Structure 1
Amino acid sequence: MLVIRPIEQRDFPTLKQIAIESGHGFTSLPVNDELLQNKIDHSISSFSCRPAGKGECLYFFVAEDSDTGEVLGTTALDAAVGLSSPFYTYLLGKQVHSSRKLGIYNVVETLTLTNDYTGVSELCTLFLREQAREGMNSRLLSKCRFLFLAEFSELFDHRILAEMRGVSDDGGNSPFWSWLQEHFFSMDFPTVDYLTGIGQKGFIADLMPKYPIYVNLLSKEARAVIGKTHDKTRPALRLLEEEGFAWRGYVDIFDAGPSVECDLKQIRTVRNSRRLTVQVGHPVDAGKHLISNTRFDGFRALIGDLAVNEEKAQAVMTPEVARLLKVEDGDSVRVVEM
């Protein structure tokens, strides 16, 4: 069974291997020892002292196999993006060119560089290793974050963002970036992807076009991938769409992948989750639930069987599920039926 827990120092070797496996375009996990260690340190610091409100905190989780102890996935929450360094996106919009005298009326699409997501909370770093892509593991890895958001909502913005990886080939070549590279840059996509991942974003302000880009001036290949998602990222996007996330026209500045968003209180799992009291025993008529404890630094989540005693507002679970969640009789858990 997979159990979600905060990342620890001992997870570094596996985190580096996951960064290698994630491939091109997965900016939040650069193959760089210093940056990966910084992420672990940042998360441990964020969990060590619960803040009073939203700040530049990173809550990084791993999915651990309860039988083998092997880490098989990662997922994270960035409490506020763009506060210490700019967070850039393109906004797909429209401009009208018309002349009543000449009887001409043309609507053209534009891409405008923005910092509109500054201070917004982000879902990030979702990656499940290939050997674990079965059953409900993907759902656990994606949805566990919503139980954390529901339990500690005061630590996050009311807007929740998720950047989807855009289209690129196995060699890391992005059709969208290829057009930008030809006209404004002299770096290939894997290079800019890596520089962004390690935090060296100064070149964006220096070289990125300052004015809106007319979409009809882009190459046919670049236009075709605006707002499109990488094949390997589509399952993650579908899970978010089930939760109420939608595309509002913002895309990544490098690969044009869509950024989807949802109000925290409108996320389906957040809305449907509830707190119940633990009763350890032998549940009758148990069903599959997404379950987490309500601890901050000792957060645990899993998908397991439990029965709900509505009269007593109790979650009746087996000793094994209780052990993995690190809860006892009388403790609180947050649950949502799968």
Structure 2
Amino acid sequence: MATLSTPAATAPEPASHRPAAPGRSRSLNRRTREAIAGYGFLAPWIAGMVLLTLGPMAYSLYLSFTDYDLMSSPNWIGLGNYERMAADPRLASSVLVTLKYVAVSVPGVLAFSLGVAMILNKGMRFLPFYRAAFYLPSLIGTSVAIAVLWRQVFGGDGIVNAALGTLGISGQSWIGDPDSALWTLVVLNVWTFGSTMVIFLAGLRQIPTDLYEAASVDGAGPIRRFLSVTVPLLTPLIFFNLLLTTVNAFQAFTPAYVVSGGTGGPLDSTLFYTLYLYLRGFANLEMGYASAMAWALVVVLAVFTAALFASSRYWVHYGDER
């Protein structure tokens, strides 16, 4: 009797030999193409970041441990430059001048810009014109042209002394006097309050008027409303402006260089840290020492920024907090 034969069960094909699902393959190919296109668009920025920022930073860090005069090969001296910084009296003088400048000009910029922003927030006519006019100095305030103009304004025959002469007051060369030279640069920095003013003005226009009305109903006067309503709601912008203004003040260079003639002014009264760094690196050709000074400034700014961010949790209040 014949028997019926059944076909043998075929073994399942290994997963590695299975063809990929068409939809999944197309999806992977699309993601790959998008990733390649994205990195292609980022390539110029990445190249610039590596070649123009990270590369020079790494090389300057290396130079900070060397004796380098731009003419011969760097000579490794270890921590010699940093030990020399600790015993440099002119460096200590530049640090003191810079700290004095930061301590006075930064609060001045913040207070003046906030005051002007509150005045402009009253809804006066021609607000766009005033806003542009007050913002303009911040665009050109650190340029060489404005620094030269500032030198003429506070010179012996400048505009300030001409105005004092009409009142019968004999002036002086404000930039030539060690007691007043630094304060002319402080006034110049405060004069460039436009950018911080615009930021404060944008924040003031976001504060609901209902809060001021409720505070007035509770009997709060203008000062109380300012301290209890305006300042708490502006703390994120105060934090932002404080950080940027302080970092910029530590890095101030052009006004001091132009107004003082590149020497640091009378008796080093305007010898900013960055100006002294420039003199060491490009006037005395002590690039290794200048690199060490630059990295010391980087560390100081990093510590200040970290401390400011750490303290922000105690005094910066955001609108979404409960």
TM-score tier by shorter-chain length is under 0.3
| TM-score normalized by the length of structure 1 | 0.23
The structure carrying a bigger strand percent of its residues is: 1
Indicate the structure whose relative CO is greater, using CA pairs within 8 Å and at least 6 residues apart. Answer: 2
Larger Rg: 2
| TM-score normalized by the length of structure 2 | 0.23
